[in-house]
Chain A
Amino acid sequence: MQIKGDKWTPILFITPSIVAVGIFVYGFISWTSFISFTKWNNVMPDYTLVGFENYRKLFNNMRFQIDLHNTFVFTVIFVTSCLLIGLLLAVLIDQRIKGEGIFRNLFLLPMAVSFIVSGVIWRWLFNPGSFQLGNIGVNQLFEKVGLNFLTCGWYTDPNIGIKAVAIAAIWQFSGYTMALYLAGLRGIPLELREAAAIDGANQWKTFYYITLPFLRPITFGAIIILGHISLKIFDLVVAMTGSGPAFSSDVPAFFMYDTTFRGNHFAQGASIAIILLFLVSLLIIPYLITTFRKEA
């Protein structure tokens, strides 16, 4: 049997997945964007086109405005904290310490937990308790160690809201970021560091001029991964807080679920999906462009 040189065999092999991806990813993306331009805002499908009407309404909707703001706050806090904490942990573990494996696994473990589980646990931890029933969770801990001034309403305080959710997400994903960075650190040739040391660079300078530039592609990749997680975040919010007081922990994905399945606003839900897709593509497209350029 001759495989080499046969043009059709490889195409035959990938056709099923191309068809499947074509239908289930791109097909449904086109279908969703079509729906977002229709009047389908009841259970009965109504494919009358209304142009950008759904989008106009959406941007006038107070809940959606709050959601966009929340997403922005969440993304900034979540991505930067994960990067910083991940890098710090990776650098610490990279010092060839004893029991490295244990620490590595310990830091990575939260990622193995589903968002639903961690959401429920963090809901209990951040439950502020009350004046009458006493402090519980994290607040109780603060009270026990005499840090009373740190106790607060957490996600029940409209001014904190989504930031409390971000803390839970950071807990879950900084270990993962650490793993990415650790791989990056291990990929830096030892000779470079040695050469820098011979040239008289101190630890800090080596880190700044050798390590960081080498980690740049990792950082880039991590931002993409973390960024799209934070734009799509849904399960953590649902399990941990719901919409929160004054929608302070509401996110577009949760609004999409609510308006589609509770309110029967299928077209509005589709518009939110398309806006989310647009936001994610803002992150992904520059990444794809640079990757393809490198490969070409």
Chain B
Amino acid sequence: MLRKWLTALVLVSMVVVFFTLPVLAESLSGKVEVNSWWTAGGEAEGLNALIKLYESKYPDIEFINATVAGGAGTNAKAVFKTRMLGGDPPDTFQVHAGHELIDTWVIPGYMQPLTDLYKSEGWTESMPQGVLDIVSYQGDYWSVPVNIHRSNVLWFNKTIFTKYNITPPSNFDQFFDVCDELKEKGIVPFVMGTKEGWEAAHVFESVLLGKLGANDYNGLWTGGVKWSDPRVTDALETFAKIASYLNTDHSALTWDEAGQYLLKDKGAMMIMGDWTNGWFMSVGFEGYGWAPPPDTAGIFLALSDSFALPKGCKNQENVVAWLKVLGSKEGQYSFNKAKGSIPARTDVDISDYNDYLQSAAKDWQKDAISPSVVHGAAASEGWTTEYKDIISLFVSKPDVSYTQKALVTAAEEYLKK
């Protein structure tokens, strides 16, 4: 009984506070529910750093950290979609900047523009054009990017490379020479884990980029370059050849389980996004080196996690406060240091980040920037899913002409829309 009275008392006082506080002071109260799929290792640490910062600035807001586990966010996205379509939008949720944001949420009209926020916070100045491009649609900005990841990185085991006196291959001829040499020595030349279905497609986007270059690779996704192009055929043939050097158990492993080959000095190279750097740090592995995958030097295949403001969310002001923290210098600094990615802003001092991140940040400033497909930047989710299925089948059934035809059909269907 006492508890009931207390609850009522608290509720009443909350209502009173709610109506009086905005008049008295600017400080915010209530709740904010932030939805993401950052549950593991460095990601979760990064998120916690942000939460700490947010709570120190807005101590009266109850922060609800709503995470849904699952690689690449598949499960989390299912939850967000159900809630958005069901008319119960989450306050704010994690979404890949680019087509995943624009095609899925902005064009159908589920989001609110953030252009005013961008101007008042000065983000139009502090974020590079490449980032501003992928979060804008029809002259407005639609989400706040927290980080930049690079998709095209070739990781290699330094011990093996030093032992056999190998330098990182810069083109595909050298790459296959290295593969042959390592295979003879009984080392898996190239490792991959394909258990979750998107990993092969991830590697293939680097191959495509290597064969077509930044401009024409972008053209594939905008309709400027046809998928029937002979260079796509070449890319598929090359990828089939790469697949012949793989670890045989790839379909039993996720990307990080496949990374064990590198840790144990049994595998030499893998292509994976630069969250691998964070993973290497978290497992205490230091004998790794990195290079751009063959023929992709000077091109930065980028993806970015961002947060947006859905229409009809319940705690709008608190969400805007959250977005401000995300876009702030200190927010970007502390989040990315823990997650192992680079800040989307170019004016953050990152001199105490690790070597890989420093080099990535340098490349980010000078390289040509292309959007990643598998991670939602280059194409709509429908197209991405189909692309991933086609490539995933190709790894086990490397039929080049059939696969190219399927890619052409998919492109026709989605470019039409």
Contact = CB atoms under 8 A, between A and B. Distances in A.
Interface of A: 41-45, 62-63, 123, 126-133, 153-156, 158, 241-248, 257-265
Contacts of B382: 41-42, 263-265
Q: Which of B84, B186, B194 has the most CB of A within 10 A?
A: B194
B381 A264 contact: yes
What DSSP secondary structure best describes chain A's contact surface?
Answer: loop
B77 A45 contact: no
Given A132-B266, A263-B381, A263-B386, A153 B397 contact: no
Contacts of B248: 128, 130-131, 153, 156
B249 interface: yes
Interface of B: 74, 77-78, 81, 84-85, 103-105, 107-110, 186-188, 194-197, 247-252, 260-261, 264, 266-267, 380-382, 384-386, 389, 392-393, 395-397, 406, 417
A132 B251 contact: no
Given A158-B396, A246-B393, A262-B385, A133 B264 contact: yes
A62 B196 contact: no
7 contacts: A129-B249, A130-B249, A245-B250, A245-B395, A245-B396, A246-B397, A262-B381
Nearest to B110: A43
Nearest to A60: B409
7 closest pairs, A vs B, by CB?
A263-B385, A246-B396, A44-B108, A261-B78, A245-B396, A245-B251, A156-B251
A260 B381 CA distance: 10
A261 B264 contact: no
Contact of B392 (A123, A131, A243, A263): A243
What DSSP secondary structure best describes chain B's contact surface?
Answer: helix
Nearest to A44: B108
B206 to A, nearest CB: 21
Contacts of B397: 158, 246
A132 B85 contact: no
A261 B74 contact: yes
A158 B194 CA distance: 13
B392 A128 contact: no
Nearest to A249: B251
Contacts of A158: 396-397
Given A132-B266, A247-B389, 17 more contacts: A43-B110, A44-B108, A129-B249, A130-B248, A132-B187, A132-B188, A133-B264, A155-B252, A242-B196, A242-B197, A245-B194, A247-B393, A257-B78, A261-B77, A262-B77, A263-B386, A265-B382
B104 A63 contact: no
Contact of B247 (A41, A132, A242, A259): A132
Given A132-B186, A246-B397, A261-B81, A156 B249 contact: yes
B252 A156 contact: yes
A128 B159 CA distance: 26
A188 B122 CA distance: 83
A247 B195 CA distance: 11
A242 B198 CA distance: 11
Contacts of A155: 251-252
A43 B261 contact: no
A155 B396 CA distance: 13
Nearest to B392: A243
A43 B266 contact: no
Nearest to A130: B249
Contacts of B251: 155-156, 241, 244-245
A67 B20 CA distance: 60
A89 B81 CA distance: 46
Contacts of B186: 132
A263 B390 CA distance: 13
Nearest to B409: A60
Nearest to A66: B393
Given A42-B108, A246-B393, A264-B104, A130 B247 contact: yes
Nearest to B197: A243
B126 to A, nearest CB: 31
Contacts of B188: 130, 132
Contacts of B385: 258-259, 262-263, 265
A128 B385 CA distance: 28
B68 to A, nearest CB: 12
Contacts of B417: 42
B389 A63 contact: yes
B119 to A, nearest CB: 28
Contacts of B84: 43
Nearest to A157: B251
Contacts of A130: 188, 247-249
A229 B417 CA distance: 38
Nearest to A45: B85
A260 B267 CA distance: 36
Nearest to A268: B382
Nearest to A158: B396
Given A246-B396, A247-B393, A258-B385, A133 B266 contact: yes
Contacts of A261: 74, 77-78, 81
A44 B261 CA distance: 43
A259 B85 CA distance: 16
B392 A156 contact: no
Given A63-B389, A127-B252, A242-B195, A133 B81 contact: no
Contacts of A153: 248-249
Contact of B249 (A41, A42, A128, A263): A128
A153 B249 CA distance: 8
